Every structure is written in structure tokens, then in C-alpha cells.
């Protein structure tokens, strides 16, 4: 029985080999070697439960939703809305009405920037982000700020890759109309104290968006406990399909926001003189959505719930400690980001070996890591490097794969020097 079928694994005791059997791609070879997939911060692999949900929808359930009275339409609608309800429970949202399906975290940030913030932003106002944000949590705010004559403020971080809370709090003073923060840094693995940071902002009446794309696959998230107004994440980073994600928001905030896009299903009635809009969340879901993706998103959530996030977090913390300790012995390797609170991400450089060369040599050994700026160029600039190599872990990552990575890094050194 797979985890998706109901096997609950005790916290701290993941049966990783059993879980790996749920992921078909992990059985393949690359360049004659078993695949060691260590690029999970970019996207995770998909279990058979998720793949099967997509296949089943197209083979047995394919119909448009919210529109038809025939059997298939009602079935597809029910499954899509069941997925929304499951996602709401997964992150502690009070109601499914506060969950908007989007293409991913990037679209969710754009929706909030243009629908929520733009009408409230005036010349001289400010938006506060952090120095470790993904481009998706920088560029939309820059675009809106540029159009409205507002400024972008940046909360700095220290040499360990931790946000400096005194500086963050100081920057909250003045005409700040929005705070947008990463829950977990994709480039450094830093877990930010977002509950405390949200509380500081909301004490000043400032709304907060949290980018949870790198948090929800790795730790328990409860949006009510965090206190944020908006929480965004993507399905594909949590064992779900690409092209879908969620914006979770306070219902009263969504109710006050104008539609982001116009089209079918986001309306109540249309004439050439006037259109009246639908209730939330339909108001923000114009057109036929990624129905198969939404249903499979719900399956990915079910998979994580059945595995147990406490066990996932403990397993990844163990992998991180093992990786950091073993990689420290690789000659010339330097870690980028050494925060005390970190998720399963290790970012590193060699001063005399380009990260792309590191990645290419490891690939020939069947080891997949990410090299580059990780859509976080300001982070690279802060640490004075053009790029890093990054290994990132998941619930199916093994100690043996970490050991292969370390041996591969020793090979990189021997080949390049």
C-alpha cells in the first residue's frame, strides 16, 4: 500500500525506500547511473497517485466544470472543489472560499499586486520586501510601484543569510502599504520568522503576503497562526503538477478586491451595458481552469498529509545535517547561506570552479542539482557571486544520494584542478 492509499508514517521514521517506490521517475538511469534527483527546490517529482489522477481525469472524467448539468461535468466539478477544500484544510484556511486557484505562486503574487495593492498605492508610498526574495516576489511589486510612483524598500540580511529584524522593523515605519516576504528562501534555505514579522507589520496596519512555495512541502503551515493576509504557493514544488497553485487569503480582503481578469465563470450576468461579478473565489478564476491540475493538486496534498509533514521535516533536517557535515570536507567548497533555521537546501561555490562546471560533471554521474542564480539575483549580488550550485532535498532523498553528491564533488575537484 502506498502513502497515497492511506499509509501514515510515524514522525521521524519515514520509510524512504517504500516512499521512493511511489515515484516512477526515480527508477530511471541517467548517463548509465541511477538518478539522484537533488533539484527539488526547482520542482519535485510526482508520485503515481498524482500522475494517476491526471490520467484518470482525461480518461474517465473529462468535462468542463461549474457549467454543465450532465454527469461528467458534475463529477469533475465535485472533484475540483474537493481539491480546493483539501488545500484549505492543509494550510489552515478558515474556508475554501479563501482559496483561489492560480497557475502558481507567481500568478498569485501578480494578482495581489494588481488587484489588491495597485488601487491602494499612491505616489510616495512604499512596498517592503526582503533581500532574499525570488524574482517572482520582487518584479510584480516593482511594476506596480513604478506605475504608481511608489518606492521599493528592502530589508537586509546578514552574512549567514538571516534577515536583520531590527532593520526590518525600522523599515516598517512610514508610508509602507505592503509587506511581501519569503517564508523559506529558495536560494539559501533560510526559514524566516514570518509569524513575528507579520505581527510587526499588522500592528502598524500593513497587510502581508507570504511566499510559501518553499515552505509547504517541508513543514506544517497554518495561515491563521502566521496571521498573514495572503499566502501563495505552487503545486509543482509539493509533488503536484505544474501550471497550478493557490492564493490563500482572508475572505474579507478578497471580497473587497476587483477582478484580476475578465471572462467566463467569473461573472453573474453580462450585458453590453454592465457586468456583475461572481462571488469569491470564482471572481478571480476567469475561463476554463487547469481542471486536471487542480484535481491532481488535491492528490498531492493528500499524499503529503498521509506521509506526515512532521516526518518529512525531521527526515530533511537529518539529510541537511549529514550533507553539511560531509561537504565541509570537500577542498575549496564554501557554503552560501548558513542560517541557524534552514530547510533542506545547500547552496555552495568553489572560488576557482564555475557552478555550471560543477553541475555538468555531477550530471555525468547521474546527479541532478541546480546551478545559476536561482531566480534570486539580488541574493547572488549580496554574497558577491555570479551563481551558486544548489542541492535541495525531498521526502524521497536518501543518505546514499547525499553521499554520492559528496563523492561527485570530490571528482569535480580532481577533474578541474
The CA-atom distances, in angstroms, between 215 and each of 108, 120, 189 are 16, 29, 10
Cis peptide before 187 (omega within 30 of 0): no
The CA-atom distances, in angstroms, between 247 and each of 99, 127, 231 are 6, 19, 6
The CA-atom distances, in angstroms, between 350 and each of 190, 333, 342, 360 are 21, 5, 21, 14
Q: Where are the alpha helices (DSSP H) in 159-193?
A: 165-172
SS3 content of the chain, % helix, strand, coil (to 5): 45, 20, 40
Of the residues 253, 375, 385, 416, only one is catalytic, namely 375
- Sign of the four-CA dihedral 178, 253, 233, 228: positive
The CA-atom distances, in angstroms, between 25 and each of 20, 29, 58, 59, 292 are 9, 9, 21, 22, 20
Neighbour-count burial of 377, counting CB atoms closer than 10 A to its CB (0-12 exposed, 13-18 middle, 19+ buried): middle
DSSP track, 81-109: HHHHHHHHHHTT-S-GGGEEEESSHHHHH
- Is 228 catalytic? The answer is no
Which is it for strands 370-372 and 388-392: parallel, antiparallel or unpaired? Answer: antiparallel
Which residues are catalytic, by number?
Answer: 375
Amino acid at each position: 500500500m502506498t502513502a497515497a492509499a492511506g499509509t501514515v508514517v510515524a514522525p521521524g521514521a519515514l520509510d524512504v525506500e517504500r516512499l521512493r517506490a511511489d515515484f516512477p521517475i526515480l527508477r530511471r538511469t541517467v548517463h548509465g547511473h541511477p538518478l539522484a534527483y537533488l533539484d527539488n527546490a526547482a520542482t519535485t517529482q510526482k508520485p503515481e497517485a498524482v500522475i494517476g489522477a491526471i490520467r484518470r481525469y482525461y480518461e474517465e472524467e473529462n468535462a468542463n466544470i461549474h457549467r454543465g448539468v450532465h454527469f461528467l461535468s458534475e463529477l469533475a466539478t465535485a472533484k475540483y472543489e474537493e481539491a480546493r477544500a483539501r488545500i484549505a484544510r492543509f494550510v489552515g484556511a478558515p474556508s475554501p472560499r479563501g482559496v483561489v486557484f492560480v497557475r502558481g505562486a507567481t500568478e498569485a503574487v501578480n494578482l495581489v499586486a494588481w488587484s489588491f495593492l495597485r488601487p491602494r498605492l499612491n505616489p510616495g508610498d512604499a512596498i517592503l520586501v526582503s533581500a532574499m526574495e525570488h524574482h517572482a516576489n520582487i518584479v510584480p511589486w516593482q511594476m506596480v510601484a513604478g506605475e504608481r510612483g511608489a518606492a521599493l524598500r528592502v530589508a537586509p540580511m546578514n552574512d549567514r543569510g538571516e534577515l536583520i529584524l531590527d532593520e526590518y522593523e525600522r523599515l516598517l515605519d512610514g508610508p509602507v502599504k505592503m509587506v511581501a516576504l519569503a517564508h523559506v528562501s529558495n536560494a539559501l534555505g533560510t526559514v524566516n520568522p514570518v509569524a513575528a514579522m507579520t505581527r510587526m507589520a499588522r500592528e502598524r496596519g500593513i497587510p502581508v503576503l507570504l511566499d510559501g512555495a518553499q515552505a509547504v512541502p517541508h513543514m506544517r503551515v497554518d495561515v491563521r497562526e502566521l496571521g498573514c493576509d495572503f499566502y501563495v504557493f505552487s503545486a509543482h514544488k509539493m509533488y503536484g503538477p505544474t501550471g497550478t497553485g493557490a492564493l490563500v487569503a482572508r475572505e474579507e480582503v478578497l471580497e473587497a478586491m476587483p477582478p484580476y481578469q475578465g471572462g467566463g465563470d467569473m461573472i453573474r450576468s453580462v450585458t453590453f451595458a454592465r457586468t456583475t461579478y461572481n462571488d469569491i473565489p470564482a471572481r478571480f478564476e476567469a475561463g476554463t481552469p487547469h481542471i486536471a491540475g487542480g484535481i491532481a493538486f488535491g492528490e498531492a496534498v493528500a499524499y503529503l498529509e498521509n506521509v506526515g509533514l512532521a516526518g518529512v521535516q525531521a527526515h530533511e533536517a537529518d539529510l541537511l545535517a549529514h550533507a553539511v557535515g560531509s561537504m565541509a570536507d570537500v577542498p575549496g567548497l564554501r557554503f552560501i547561506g548558513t542560517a541557524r533555521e534552514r530547510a533542506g537546501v545547500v547552496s555552495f561555490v568553489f572560488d576557482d570552479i564555475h557552478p555550471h562546471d560543477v553541475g555538468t560533471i555531477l550530471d555525468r554521474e547521474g546527479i541532478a542539482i541546480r546551478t545559476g542564480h536561482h531566480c534570486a539575483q539580488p541574493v547572488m549580488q549580496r554574497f558577491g557571486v555570479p551563481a551558486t550550485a544548489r542541492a535541495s532535498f525531498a521526502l524521497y532523498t536518501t543518505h546514499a544520494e547525499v553521499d554520492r553528491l559528496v563523492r561527485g564533488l570530490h571528482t569535480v575537484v580532481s577533474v578541474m584542478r
